[in-house]
Amino acid sequence: MHKIPVTVITGFLGAGKTTLIRHLLQNNQGRRVAVMVNEFGEVGIDGDLLKSCQTCDDNPNDNIVELTNGCLCCTVQEEFLPTMQKLLERRQQLDCMLIETSGLALPKPLVQAFRWPEIRNGATVDGVITVVDGFAIARGRLVADLEALTAQRQADPNLEHETPIEELFEDQLACADLVLLAKTDLISEIELEKIISWLKTQLRSTVKIVTCADGQISPDVLLGFNAAVEDNLASRPSHHDHEEEHDHDEEINSVQFCLDSPVDAQILTRRIKELVAREEIYRVKGFVNVANKPMRMVLQGVGDRFDSFFDRPWQSTETRQTRLVFIGRSLDSQRIEQALTRVC
């Protein structure tokens, strides 16, 4: 039986990982693709968004799996391993697999799990794709929201002068087989040239940088590296190579907001922006039940930048409901609910 080639897609919150995977699924060229999503929060926004791809797969509920119990690199043993074993039971029905890590996950511990006997004979890491937010980099940030960058700082036992977010970015680049520079349609040619020149100084000489807007890139560019990354980790150094564990900021949490009645999309977006100005909200994502519209609206926000689009009609078998996830620091569900309840 063949080994399933697995592509690991890593990058910070809001960099564009889900948008990339959605485009890949919609243009899969007949490949039978399974996706593992390391969702942050109980409401499966990313997974549901991927399942809504009309052309991605005949059995999206079987082939798109969400891991919701925390950062994937911290739950490799408890959650990733049994989920992976279940997928491997039907590997003859799959051509490849994608794993979307959370914005806080280290890529290397996940790749190391592919050395375990329970996985090694059934799957191999075909390649690691690191998605970089070009718009954020152009403004001197590693992530879109500067407050998020500051909030995720932690003391490192080996490199105290560096922040964990910087170390994580370096680890993502060090593990990459390809860097996808996203949101390049939002920056100038001069900014793009400077970013590419800087990234090249951070990467192994063999790692290429590919630009991308709205996740639109051929699957042939992202798949088929045949890198067997798990056998080549020595050349991909990590700041955490000598640490048994790594800790994340426990004050970072997610809050879910649900509303059954239809809403005015403009009023809702304005209220959310007002919330972002008051609260330490780093990311907003979800679905909106817009009044007098037959289509479901997808809403995504990073910092003060919001995007929306209608992805598909509401199904007769589902409840028309606004479902949003807010990710930030010490968020209070009651305050968010009070601010957003009256948006009809």
CA distance 271 to 273: 5
Query: Is residue 10 very low, low, confident or very high in pLDDT (cuts 50, 70, 90)?
Result: very high
Whether the pLDDT of residue 12 is over 90: the answer is no
Query: Is residue 187 very low, low, confident or very high in pLDDT (cuts 50, 70, 90)?
Result: very high
Q: What is the pLDDT of residue 311?
A: 84
* DSSP string across 53-73: -TTS-S-HHHHEEE--SS-GG
In one-letter notation, the amino acid at residue 200 is K
Q: What is the pLDDT of residue 167?
A: 82
Q: What is the pLDDT of residue 152?
A: 37
Tokens of 18: 């889900």
**Higher pLDDT pick, 90 / 13:** 90
**Higher pLDDT pick, 179 / 42:** 179
Cβ burial, residue 52 (10 Å; 0-12/13-18/19+) = middle
Q: Which CATH superfamily is domain 2-219 in?
A: P-loop containing nucleotide triphosphate hydrolases (3.40.50.300)
Q: What is the pLDDT of residues 190-226, one digit of tens each?
A: 999 999 999 999 999 889 999 998 888 988 899 988 8
CA distance 115 to 121: 9
Query: Is residue 280 very low, low, confident or very high in pLDDT (cuts 50, 70, 90)?
Result: confident
Arithmetic mean of pLDDT, 313-337? 87
Q: What is the pLDDT of residue 256?
A: 86
CA distance 111 to 279: 35
CA distance 107 to 121: 20
Tokens of 318: 């589902």
Of 241-245, 246-250, 313-317, the least confident: 246-250
Query: Is residue 77 very low, low, confident or very high in pLDDT (cuts 50, 70, 90)?
Result: low
For the chain, give every domain's residue range: 2-219, 249-339
What's 249-339's CATH class?
A: alpha beta
Of 81-90, 155-164, 239-248, 330-339, the least confident: 155-164
